Structure 1
Amino acid sequence: MGRYGEDLAARRLRESGMTILERNWRCAEGEIDLIARDGDAVVVCEVKTRRAAPFQHPMESLPPAKTARLRRLAARWLGERWIARYGNPPAGGVRLDLVGIVLPDRGAPVVQHVRGVG
């Protein structure tokens, strides 16, 4: 289910004009689902996929601790990948986005993309 949700999220980001730089980047501290480029900005994207049920909606599942961890991971990725390659931070900065996907019992998935969540 998670991989399917990440595929849908990557497609949504590409449709909005972004370029996917990496998927499932991992280090000892954790993982970033998707890293994309949106113009001059780097976008760290958390993907939450849920089945339609009375559980927490995916757009409500990014607590402050998770946001802080994603920011630390983004800083590490920038140092290891971006700055090592380009020498400078991205001109447009770094943004944290959330893509929430609800998989209904029937019909097409519902995909929501929120920019700048943290």
Structure 2
Amino acid sequence: MRARNAQRSATGKYGEDLAARRLGAAGMTVLQRNWRCGRTGEIDIVARDGDVLVICEVKTRRAGSFEHPMAAVTPAKAQRLRGLAERWTQEHGGAPPGGVRIDLIGVLLPDRGSPVVEHARGVA
């Protein structure tokens, strides 16, 4: 079980690295990664897109997984992300003039070939 968790953790980190690069390539600035808020949860990536603060959830799946990564954000998960976004802005001086947006990046790792990275803006 420990080896499986280590593999899952490595897969998740790889997906987050790809996501951070995608955000940078899109002209965004990554401000923080893996911000934890006690038992409430974690924000994978906090970025700035112009004057908008972007809270980004990253979901990485291997090809053949039961669920597509973009289907992983349930209404309950979206609500939790909104709460985490509020906590982050409270701890970092408030929301910027452009407000806060929650994005999702889905990373699909095929058995062969390049990863597929999808970015959905304003999902929650």
TM-score past 0.5 threshold: yes
- Relative to structure 1, the CA distance from residue 2 to residue 92 in structure 2 (aligned partners, 3 Å threshold; closer, same or farther) is same
CA distance in 1, matches of 2:65, 2:48: 34
Question: Alignment identity in percent?
Answer: 65
1:63-83 deviation digits (Å, cap 9, x = unpaired): 0000000000010000112x1
Instruction: Find the counterpart in structure 1 of residue 8 from structure 2.
Output: none
Task: Report whether the alignment pairs 1:42 with 2:53.
Answer: yes
Unpaired segments ≥5 residues, structure 2: 1-10
Structure 1 position 54, deviation (Å) = 4.5
TM-score by length of 2: 0.89
Task: Report whether the alignment pairs 1:101 with 2:112.
Answer: no
CA distance in 2, matches of 1:55, 1:95: 28
Instruction: Find the counterpart in structure 2 of residue 12 from structure 1.
Output: 22
- Relative to structure 1, the CA distance from residue 69 to residue 24 in structure 2 (aligned partners, 3 Å threshold; closer, same or farther) is same
Task: Give every structure 1 segment of 4 or more consecutive aligned residues whose post-TM-superposition deviation is greater than 4 Å.
Answer: none
Calculate the aligned-residue CA RMSD, in Å. Answer: 0.8
Instruction: Find the counterpart in structure 1 of residue 13 from structure 2.
Output: 3
Structure 1 position 89, deviation (Å) = 2.3
Task: Report whether the alignment pairs 1:23 with 2:23.
Answer: no
Please show how residues 35-74 of structure 1 align to structure 2 within 5 Å. Answer: 35-74=46-85
User: SS of 2:114's equivalent?
Assistant: coil
Count of residues in correspondence between the two structures: 113
